[in-house]
Amino acid sequence: MTTIIMLFILPLGIVFYFFDKKTRKINTKLFDEHVEKIKASDLTQKEKLNIIDEMYYKNGYKIAHKTLDLLVVEKKHFNLGVLFIFFGLLSYFGLPLYYIYYRFILKPEEIRVSFE
């Protein structure tokens, strides 16, 4: 049974990992373009900051620091591919180990938006 899990879950995890990595680059680029459009608009700085803050909030980011000149948001990114890799390599021990990795070891991705 364990061999069957490793034969199917591990390669699937590797595929999901690289697919997720590719889509994260695309999504980051879309976020950056949207932020630049808002920065170039003729809204007040506070309105721009609120719109950008709301966009990140709706996408699961938490505010780490917010001033009129700087917005810092962060988010831990759940990766199904890494979960499958842990599960495929370590069988049933992979699930609790991934939880420990995600909860205590994985650092949140931090995005800084500056208005200077």
Domain ranges of the chain: 2-114
Tell me the per-residue pLDDT of 92-113, one tens digit each, with 9 for 90 and over.
888 899 999 999 999 999 999 9
Q: Is the pLDDT of residue 13 over 90?
A: yes
Tokens 């199917």 belong to residue: 8
| 16-54 core/surface letters (b: 16 or more CB in 10 A; e: else) | bbeebeeeeeeeeeebeeebeebeeeeeeeeebbeebbe
Quote the pLDDT of residue 2. Answer: 67
Task: Give the residue carrying structure tokens 């001033």.
Answer: 67
User: Tokens 């069957």 label which residue?
Assistant: 4
What are 46-103's pLDDT values in tens digits?
899 999 999 999 999 999 999 988 999 999 999 999 999 988 888 788 889 999 999 9
Q: Residue 54's pLDDT is what?
A: 94
Sheet holding 70-75, edge to edge: 62-66, 70-75, 109-114
Specify the pLDDT at position 4.
75
Euclidean distance between CA atoms 86 and 18, whole angstroms: 15
pLDDT given at position 35: 93
